[in-house]
Amino acid sequence: MLTQLARNITVATLLAIISLLSGCAVNRATATVDPSANLGSIKAIHVIKFGPDNKSIDSLIADKIRSMGLTATTGEIPAANSDAVITYIDKWMWDITMYMIELTIQVRDPKDNFTLAVGNSYHTSLTRKSPAEMVDEVITNIFKGK
Amino acid sequence: MQSKQLIKPFLAWAILLVTIQGLYGCASPAETKGMVAQVNTSTTHPFSVGIRTQGGSETGAMDPSMISDTDFAKAIEESIINGRIFTSVVHGKASDYELGVTILNFNKPMFGGSFTITLETAWSLTNTTTREAVMRKNITSTHTASFGDSVVAVTRFRLALEGAARKNIKQGLEEIAQIAIKQ
């Protein structure tokens, strides 16, 4: 009787693990640029800090932009001379430690707030990337074809 | 007797997990016919238009319903033709104007009797000769599918998504119908 119980518990546990693991290794990195956008003409970008962000992702984005030879500023109010504004949303998960599961970055025209380009990276726990690597992946994909 | 009572909760969990797995796998993509909008306008722009959609994705086995670029473009095309907003829709690069629509994001509710989905897209209409953008706008639309629309959660999700897409297309094309486009 006890053997039967142990077998059923094993099956249930196995199903639970399969169910949880089925979504564990998802990697997605996409970027789209609007046909009317000319990202090559952008020289100065302002990164607007996402309200709930307490990990200074805005600074990482600004650093990445500067490494591309462009001017970058951060803060809640866009600088007057910005050619584009970046907004972003970072999502975090816990699995042993906290990690960034998803980062979405939008490049907008400061004149009308229109979204010129959007990039997204999604990496689950087993293939997690550091915040700097996530930022690098998204920004690189957005500006790849400029 | 005691061991049977112990087995029951584990079996119940196993059945629940398998059911959840099964429901995820049943999700189907948003369908073109569910996204076609009825646009009432007396304006027909005397130009041809090409449509370029992006930001969509195919519905994977483990995903909720998604909007594919192809189906979204077809829905926009049918809506333009039905509403006679342009004289023709051209496939390829030989059009007078290019309509670009990018799916930026939409929320994915998982539980509840009603699913409300908010869809944000970016619309642009560009002259293919001068590359001048005559319209650029982010458009946000919301649609709720209730338990009365479907008792099956994955279908309810798809209906909410199709409704949000349909309203989005309607808003976008009504904006386009109102602008004055020069020859």
For residues A119 and A141, the answer to whether their CB atoms sit within 8 Å is: yes
Burial zone of B149 (CB within 10 Å; 0-12 exposed, 13-18 middle, 19+ buried)? middle
- Residue B43: CATH number of its domain: 3.40.50.10610
Q: Does any CB of chain A come closer than 8 Å to the CB of residue B34? A: no
Q: Which pLDDT value is given to residue B3?
A: 59
User: For strand A84-95 and strand A97-108, is the pairing parallel, antiparallel, or unpaired?
Assistant: antiparallel
Nearest to B55 by CA among A134, A28, A23, A123: A28
B114 assigned to some structural domain: yes
Domain count, chain B: 1
CA distances to A9, A112, B2, B17 from A4, rounded to whole Å, are: 9, 67, 13, 21
Contacts of residue B133 in chain A, CB cutoff 8 Å?
A: 36
Q: If residue B157 lies in a helix (H) or strand (E), which one and from where to where? A: helix B153-178
Q: Which residue has the tokens 């238009």?
A: B49
A97 in contact with B, Cβ within 8 Å: no
Task: Using a CB–CB cutoff of 8 Å, tell me whether A27 touches chain B.
Answer: no
Give the ipTM: 0.71
* B66 domain residue, yes or no: yes
Nearest CA in chain A to B51: A35
A102 interface with B at CB cutoff 8 Å: no
Give a yes or no: residue B78 inside a domain.
yes
List, for residues B52-85, the tens digit of each pLDDT value. 999 988 887 667 788 999 999 999 999 999 999 9
What share of chain B has pLDDT > 90, as a percent?
A: 59
Q: Which chain B positions have a beta carbon within 8 Å of A16's beta carbon?
A: 13-14, 17
Q: For residue B107, is it within any domain? A: yes
Task: Catalogue the E-assigned strands of chain A.
Answer: 27-33, 44-48, 71-75, 84-95, 97-108, 115-123
SS3 for A43-67, per residue? Answer: CEEEEECCCCCCCCHHHHHHHHHHH
Nearest to residue B26, comparing CAs of B171, B164, B163, B155? B155
Please identify, in words, the CATH class of the domain defined by A25-143. Answer: alpha beta
Of B10 and B57, more confident: B57
Domain span at B157: 38-178
Of the pLDDT bands very low, low, confident and very high (cuts 50, 70, 90), residue A129 is very high
Interface probe with B: pick from A115, A120, A122, A138, most Cβ of B within 10 Å: A115
Encoded tokens for B152: 């099956």
Does residue B21 lie in a domain region? no
Do residues A87 and A106 make contact, with C-beta atoms less than 8 angstroms apart?
A: yes
A112 touches B: beta carbon within 8 Å: yes
Test B13 with A114 for CB contact under 8 angstroms: no
Q: What is the pLDDT of residues B92-118, one digit of tens each?
A: 778 999 999 999 999 888 888 899 999
CA distance, residue A12 to nearest chain B CA (Å):
5
Q: How far is CA A83 from the centre of its chain?
A: 22
> Is-contact A45 A70, C-beta < 8 A?
yes
CA distance A115 to chain B (A): 6
Is the CB of B126 less than 8 angstroms away from the CB of A106? no
**Token pair recorded at residue B94:** 């030989």
Q: What is the pLDDT of residue B112?
A: 82
Does some domain include residue B11? no
Give the span between the Cα atoms of A33 and A94, in whole angstroms: 32
Whether the predicted pLDDT of B4 surpasses 90: no
Choice between A23 and A84, residue whose per-residue pLDDT is larger: A84
A/B interface, count of CB pairs below 8 Å: 72
Distance from CA of B9 to the nearest CA of A (A): 10
Q: At what angle do helices A131-143 and A57-67 cross, to 10 degrees?
A: 50
Q: Does A30 touch chain B (CB under 8 A)?
A: yes
